[in-house]
A = this chain, B = another copy of it.
Amino acid sequence: MNVDIGNVLTENNTPSLNTTQLERLDERVGAAHERIADGRTNDEFGYAALNLPETTDTSLVREACEPFSDCTSVLTVGIGGSALGAKTISEALGGDGAEHHVLDNVDPEHTRTLLESLSLAETAVHVVSRSGTTAETLANFLVVRETMERAGVDWTDQTVVTTGSDGPLRRLAESHDLPALDVPDGVPGRFGALSTVGLVPAAIQGHDIDALLDGAQARADSLTGSLFDCPAYAYGAVAYALDERGAGTNVMMPYAEGLESFAEWFAQLWAESLGKDGGGQTPVRALGATDQHSQLQLYRAGPRDKMVTLVRPRERGSLTVPETEIDDLAYLGGRDLGELLRAEFDATEASLAAAGCPNVRIEIERLDAECLGALLYEMEAACILAGELYGVETFTQPAVEWGKRAARGLLGGGEFEEVAAVAEKHRFVVE
């Protein structure tokens, strides 16, 4: 990706940032890069994610997916990092292969409707849970399995599992002889897009998963110790520096429908990695040009606590707007929809700059496997760099454990003291 920070460095922004400040910060970027490089060399927890382009064995993925090459649908059963990477990749790459669906919630109506809409005998099911005990994922999988049985479909022929070396899902795979993949060691779920966790649906759809990793590898080889010649670090450092100066919100706004889930993936990466110790930017998902008609008023005229990240592919498909007899619309006739989208991007970027809202332009060449792999990799590197600058534990998510224990306790899955707090809720109802 290319990162254009020109509209961060202009004088009238709030918050503002200048090159002198960035040069000072670059010394810390150099030190952080050393730390990251060491972590990679030693395959330390979390840092190991940046080695995935080398360590992921795509032949194992292809082999596990081979039985499903004729499937018309692939269903990911997973939640959080076990779903978002796969969703991002298959949505971005599109194509005519199997349709990708995701069960990442436990809404009974939604699960039922989705399963009823699928031709189960032609559906590959990818169940993903490192521990093999994630309540939402396993509950959904038990439902899927039974639904297949009732429909006379042998679920063991349709299921591929990605899990840790131990746990109920691993044992289930072994006892039923299911194709099974290992979640990578030392890689937190949200950093797993470029591993077995994220690649299975793309492989079943027939996408070139090697190109994804090649794109990422090229960026892995070019991480350097200065934000001024490393786009990933430029992004991470600028986001950090703007946050320190008051941009507590980071709006991720791709201009491509195929990148809608990318913004969701980014939001998890950013929120769960950096939202710690009372700090961390709040990621806000948006979509250009659609959300110009929804959120732009706030970004331009609301509180000066935001940076906006605008993302676009330089090349995209073409679709010409027909010439028209309608006078007021004549200027649209003969234009390409992509030209229109490009003009909207340029106009929004300039309108944010005119309002003094710092914004970053990220461009990729086109939305293909190689460029997508590079984009995901560089955003992960940006996040890890930002984590070093914040001085937080980038790779953990301790604050979610409280709720997990409470939910498990409420469902009778053990004794947990958090359950008492749920019962004591203070109520003040207006009805």
User: Measuring CB to CB, which residues of chain A are less than 8 angstroms from any residue of chain B?
Assistant: 2-10, 79-81, 84, 94, 104-113, 132-133, 135-136, 138-140, 142-143, 145-146, 167-168, 171-172, 190, 227-231, 234, 248-249, 255-258, 264, 267-268, 271-272, 274-280, 282, 284-285, 287-290, 292-306, 316-319, 321-322, 324, 326-329, 331-333, 335-341, 343-344, 346-351, 353-355, 397-400, 402-404, 406-408, 410-414, 418, 421-422, 425-431
B285 touches A285 (CB 8 A): yes
Q: Are A106 and B400 also in contact (CB < 8 A) when A143-B322, A425-B349 are?
A: no
Interface contact A271-B295, CB-CB below 8 Å: yes
Cα distance A113–B209 in the bound complex, in angstroms: 23
Chain B neighbourhood of A400, CB < 8 A: 292-293, 296-297, 300
Max count, chain B CB within 10 A of own CB: residue among A4, A234, A264, A428: A428
Q: Which of B4, B229, B324 contacts A428 (CB 8 A)?
A: B4
Contact A431 B2 (CB under 8 A): yes
A421 touches B353 (CB 8 A): yes
What CA separation (Å) do A80 and B249 show in the bound complex?
22
CA distance A409 to B324 in the complex (A): 19
Known pairs A109-B317, A142-B329 / 14 extra A-B pairs, C-beta < 8 Å: A6-B426, A10-B426, A80-B290, A105-B341, A107-B316, A112-B317, A139-B335, A171-B326, A190-B294, A267-B294, A275-B302, A276-B301, A282-B298, A354-B418
A284 touches B287 (CB 8 A): no
Give Cα A234–Cα B428 distance, bound, in whole angstroms.
Answer: 11
Listed residue (A146, A327, A351) with the most chain B CB atoms within 10 angstroms of its CB: A351
Q: How far is the CB of A173 from chain B (nearest CB, A)?
A: 12
Q: Give bound CA distance, A331 to B94, whole Å.
A: 39
Choose from B167, B290, B327 the contact partner of A79 (Cβ within 8 Å).
B290
Nearest residue (CB) in B for A14 is B278
Residues of chain B contacted by A6 (CB below 8 angstroms): 425-429
Query: Given known contacts A109-B316, A301-B276, A351-B403, is B139 in contact with A337 (CB within 8 Å)?
Result: yes
Q: Contact: B133 with A109, CB < 8 Å? A: no
- Min Cβ gap A329→B in Å is 5
* Given A296-B400, A296-B403, CB of A168 within 8 Å of CB of B326: yes
Give which listed residue, B9, B168, B301, B337, contacts A108 with CB less than 8 A: B337
Question: Are A301's CB and B398's CB within 8 A?
Answer: yes
Q: CB distance A343 to B407 under 8 Å? A: yes
How far, in whole Å, are A3 and B332 apart by their CA atoms in the complex? 47
Interchain CB contact under 8 A, B303 and A278: yes
CA distance A9 to B142 in the complex (A): 40
How long is the Cα–Cα vector from A199 to B12 in the complex, in angstroms?
44
Please determine whether A337 and B430 come into contact, CB atoms closer than 8 angstroms: no
Cross-chain contact B319 with A301 (CB below 8 angstroms): no
Q: Are B276 and A295 in contact (CB under 8 A)?
A: no
Which residues of chain B are near A316, meaning CB under 8 Å?
A: 107-109
Shortest Cβ gap from A291 to chain B (Å): 8
Contacting A172 at CB < 8 Å: which of B138, B326, B422? B326
Picked from B288, B301, B397, the residue with its CB within 8 Å of the CB of A297 is B397
Report the minimum CB–CB distance from A132 to chain B (whole Å): 8
Q: Give chain B residues whose Cβ lies under 8 Å from the Cβ of A275.
A: 295, 297-299, 301-302
Output the nearest chain B residue to A323 by Cβ-Cβ distance: B142
Specify which of B280, B347, B429 is in contact with A406 (CB 8 Å cutoff): B347
**Given the complex of chains A and B, what is the CA–CA distance between A418 and B344 in angstroms?**
13
B residues within 8 A CB of A10?
Answer: 426
Complex: A340 Cα to B141 Cα, angstroms: 14
Residues of B within 8 A of A348 (CB): 403, 407
27 sampled A-B residue pairs with Cβ under 8 A: A2-B430, A3-B430, A5-B430, A106-B337, A106-B338, A109-B316, A142-B332, A142-B333, A228-B430, A230-B430, A231-B431, A248-B305, A268-B294, A272-B294, A274-B298, A275-B298, A275-B299, A278-B301, A280-B301, A292-B400, A297-B398, A340-B407, A343-B410, A344-B403, A347-B407, A350-B418, A355-B399
